[in-house]
Amino acid sequence: MIYELMINNYPDSYWFQYDSTIVDLYEFLQCKKIQSNKPVVFKLEKKVSEKRLLSYDIYFSDGPEFISPRLANLLSNNQDFLHDVQLIDATITVNGCSYSGYKALNFLRLISCIDMNKSEYVPILDDYPDGPKNFYKMVLKENINEQFCMARSEESIGLIVISESLRQFFIKNKVKGIDLSTSCNQPIYGYSEV
């Protein structure tokens, strides 16, 4: 069984802005290793409770997703995870203070995981019917034989999926910031390609 990487109880005020001057956002969509000598930067312009914000383990932005130092440490010895995801050094700025030790997620795996026969979609561009899709209803495949931990969807690169084993790892380690209950049998409505 596979699961969509979904937000859970994540306030709108916690969405970070990604500074693309070090690594362009487009590079994160290529599913290839990124070479960077400097940490990427995420900024939060809104005033928030730092204690509450920093208690999360997975963060969302207008660029790539990124993880806390705690989760990065937990995943640093997981070879299956590191085969699928490159961890890139990241710094965050909150309320004018900088914090290091965060890691941006660069997904290296691309898998076919959407059941196109059960999903409802239209091409974004009429002249390019095999190109990116605008999904009205997305249904994930129930049986995927490919072994993976975390990957981008081949059919919709904006969709990130996780395996059952990684989901169990997140549950065991009480990872905060994502919904770990949505299964592949529940359709996802109103999802668009990036």
Both tokens of residue 154?
């081949």
Note the pLDDT tens digit of each residue in 146-181.
889 999 999 988 899 999 999 999 999 999 998 876
pLDDT of 189 > 80? The answer is no
The answer to whether 133 and 155 have CB atoms below 8 angstroms apart is: yes
The answer to whether 54 and 44 have CB atoms below 8 angstroms apart is: no
Entry pTM = 0.88
pLDDT of 8 > 90? The answer is no
Both tokens of residue 187?
């359709």
Residue 151 vs residues 30, 44, 51, 166, 193: alpha-carbon distances, Å: 12, 26, 30, 11, 15
The position carrying tokens 């914000």 is: 53
Structure letter (DSSP) for residue 8? -
